Chain A
Amino acid sequence: MNRLSVLRSRTVVLPATNIDTDQIIPARFLTTTTREGLGQHLFSEWRYDAQGAPRPEFALNKPEAQGCRILVAGRNFGCGSSREHAPWALLDCGFQAVVSTEIADIFRNNSLKNGLLPIIVDEPTSAWLIANPGAELTVDVGASTLTLPNGAAVRFSLEAFARYCLLNGQDELSFLLGRMPAIESYESRVASR
C-alpha cells in the first residue's frame, strides 16, 4: 500500500447526499479481473453523455478540477455495494481523500486498505467546503487534521491502526500473516471444543 502522510490539494465538490457505489462505478464495469483502468469509468453516468462525450457542467470535467486529489461530497458517501472497484476508480483518477459528514462502513474500510483517506467532518465544515469548491486544503494524517485556507485546523477521527498503516505503508495482510501463531492456536482451541 502507498504511504500517505501529508496531502495538499484543491477540492472537487459533489454536493449530492447518498452517493452510492453504483454511481461511483456502475456494475457493468465490474466484469474486469484487474484493479487497473477503472478511473475512466468513475461516475460514468454523470460524467459522460449518451454518446460518451464529457458533460462540461459536471464538476470532475471542469478544467479547475484537473489534478485535484480531494473529493468533497454530501452526507453518506459510498453507500451500497461492497465493490472495492469504487476506491480503485477514485484512486485511478488521482483522488487520495474523500471528505463528507458520513461515509458508509464498507466503502470506508475498502478505502483505507488502498491508501484512500476517508475524512469525516462536522456539518459546518462540510457546509463551508461544499460552498467553496476548489478550496486549497492540507491534510495531515499523523496529526489527523484538515487545514482550511484560513489556517483553521479541523481534527478528524482516524482509527489508530489505520493511521499507522497509512503513515508506514503497512499492508494488513503482512500484519495478519505475522500473527499466524495466534491464529493457529485459536484453531486448535476450537477443534478441541
Chain B
Amino acid sequence: MTSAPLTLFEKVWRRHEVAAETPDTPAILYIDLHLIHEVTSPQAFSVLRERQLPVRRLDLTLGTMDHSTPTRTEQIFGGAPIAVDSAARQVRELEANCAAFGVELLGLRNEQRGIVHVIGPELGITQPGKTVVCGDSHTSTHGALGALAFGIGTTEVGHVLATQCLLQRKPKTLAINVSGKLRPGVTAKDLILAIIGQIGVSGGTGHVIEFRGETIRALDMDERMTVCNMSIEAGARAGMIAPDETTYAYLAGRPRAPKGAAWEKALAEWRTLPTDPGARFDREVDIDASALEPMITYGTHPGMVIPISGSVPERHGDAVFEKSLAYMGLIAGKPIKDHPIDVVFVGSCTNSRLSDLRSAAGVLKGRRIAKGVQMLVVPGSQQIKKAAEAEGLHRIFLDAGAEWRESGCSMCLGMNGDLVGKGQYSVSTSNRNFEGRQGIGARTLLASPATAAACAVRGRITDPRELLS
C-alpha cells in the first residue's frame, strides 16, 4: 500500500491526534513533554486548585526555574536573598506548587537546572517525533531535534497539566530551503537573523517552519537549536529540523534518552520521521547562505537586521521606522560598524550552549574587553557551566574582564536583576531587540557570540572576522 507523501510536521501531528479537527472543533493534540517554569505556571496551578484537579501525567511534566532567577552565585548558593522580592516569591511558589502536585522540579540549586529550552535537549528528554510545549515562546528551540515544539499561554499550561492535551487548529507548513556553505566567521545566528530579515517578523505567522537543505544538514545540534529558537521571531510558533545521524549521535547516552532495546526501538521510529520525497508544503522559501556575512540588528524588532558591513537603512516618511531609529539613537544611512557600545551579553536560550561559549572565548582568548564595557557571560545550564569550567573557558572570560554567572535567562529579559541601563547600547546574543526588553530604555543589537565578543574587545561594533585568526 502506498500512502501520500507527508512532511515531518504532518507525521508528528497525525501521531498525536486524539481527535482530528472538524469544521466545528479543533483537533485534540496529545502532548508528550510539558516543561514548566516559574513565570507562566502559577495561575495554571491556581486553576487546578480551584477545580480540584490533579496533574494528569506527572511522568510527562518537568519543572525548572530560569526567567526570574538571579545569576549571581551568592544569591543561589551563598545564602544571599534573591534581590528581586517578587521574583523570590515566584520561585517559592513554583517550589510549593511542584511539591503539592508531585511535579519533578529541577530547582534553584539542582545541578541539572538551566534555561528550560537548554535543559530539555541536554537531558535527552526532548526527542524526535515528540510533541513538546512550555509556557514560553522559545519552545520552538526543541524542534531542532525533530520534535513539534511550541509555546503556549498560561491557560493552555493549565489544560496540559489537567488533561495532557491541547485544542489546536492545524497550522500550515513553510519549508525554508537553505543551500550554500556558511563562510568562516558566519554562524547559525547570522543565518537565522538573515532569514528573519528576508521573510519578515510575521512571515511565518500561522505556519510551522521546516528548515531544510544542505546548509541545515551541516549544522551541529547547538546550531540547529539556535535556528529553531528564533522561528518565533519570524512569527512561526514552531520550527523543525528532520532528525538525522547528527541528532542521534547527540542524543545517545544522555541521561533521559532511551537505553538498550528501547533506544533501538526509538531509533527505528525516528528514522520514519523525515519528510517524504514529494511531500508538499503550503509555502516554500529558498535561501542562499553562501554569501552571508555576520549579521546585526539595528532596530527594535529582529527583522530590522543588516550585514555588519552595512549601513542603517533609510526609509523616509515611515514614522514607525523613524521612531524605532530614534529609540535606538542611530542615524539612517550611517554604517553600523564602529558605533560605540556599553554592554555585551553572551547567553539566553538562543546562544548559551557550550559551542556558543567556545565561540566567544575563541575571540576573547588572550585579549581584554574594552575599558568601560560590561560583559556578562551566562551559561544556559549548570551542566554547561561545569563543562565550560572543565575546559577553562571561564578563565578566558574572567581574564578578559567579563563576568561569569550561574545559568538563567539573565539579561535577555529585564526581570531578574540583570539589566541594561537606559540609553545604553547592548550587543546581545539573545533573541529580541524590542524596546525595553533588556531594561527600560535599553538599546539592544542582536548578534552572534563571536560578534558579541569582538564588540566587547573593541568597545564598538566590530566584524568578528577582524579578530579571528
Contact = CB atoms under 8 A, between A and B. Distances in A.
Interface of A: 15-18, 20, 22-23, 26-28, 30-35, 45, 50, 74-76, 79-84, 87, 102, 104-106, 109-110, 113-114, 159-161, 164, 172-173, 175-177, 179-180, 182-183, 186-187, 190
Interface in B223-270: 232, 235-237
A176 B28 contact: yes
B56 to A, nearest CB: 8
Contacts of A172: 155, 159, 167
A30 B432 contact: no
Interface stretch (B6-14, B177-185, B198-206, B352-360): B198-206
B19 A27 contact: no
A76 B235 contact: yes
A183 B235 contact: no
Contact of A75 (B135, B152, B202, B437): B202
Contact of B154 (A26, A80, A84): A84
A176 B162 contact: yes
B155 to A, nearest CB: 4
A70 B4 CA distance: 45
Interface stretch (B85-93, B274-282, B457-465): B85-93
17 contacts: A15-B320, A27-B414, A30-B68, A31-B39, A31-B84, A33-B93, A45-B440, A79-B202, A82-B139, A83-B153, A84-B135, A164-B24, A172-B155, A175-B167, A176-B159, A183-B30, A187-B164
B124 interface: no
Contact of B24 (A45, A110, A161): A161
B135 A82 contact: yes
B47 interface: yes
B414 A28 contact: yes
B40 interface: yes
B24 A80 contact: no
B43 interface: yes
Nearest to B94: A33
B412 to A, nearest CB: 9
Nearest to A45: B436
A114 B28 contact: no
B210 interface: no
A20 B301 contact: yes
B393 interface: no
Interface string B424-443: 00000000101111001000
Contacts of B162: 173, 176-177
A175 B25 CA distance: 10
B434 A114 contact: no
B156 interface: yes
Contact of B155 (A16, A33, A74, A84): A84
Contact of B237 (A31, A105, A176, A180): A105
Contact of B202 (A82, A102, A164): A102
B172 to A, nearest CB: 11
Which of A28, A109, A161: most chain B Cβ within 10 A?
A28
A109 to B, nearest CB: 6
Interface residues of B, number: 64
Interface in B21-76: 23-26, 28, 30, 39-40, 42-43, 46-47, 51, 53, 67-68
A106 B137 contact: yes
B89 A33 contact: yes
Given A104-B235, A172-B167, A176-B28, A22 B434 contact: yes
B28 A183 contact: yes
Given A22-B435, A83-B153, A179-B28, 18 more contacts: A16-B320, A27-B414, A27-B415, A28-B414, A33-B42, A76-B235, A79-B301, A81-B413, A82-B137, A83-B40, A84-B153, A102-B205, A105-B235, A109-B153, A160-B24, A161-B25, A173-B162, A176-B28
A92 to B, nearest CB: 13
Contacts of B167: 161, 172, 175-176
A32 B86 contact: yes
Contact of A18 (B151, B163, B301): B301
B19 A179 contact: yes
B320 A17 contact: yes
B51 to A, nearest CB: 7
B136 interface: yes
Nearest to B419: A28
A27 B440 CA distance: 10
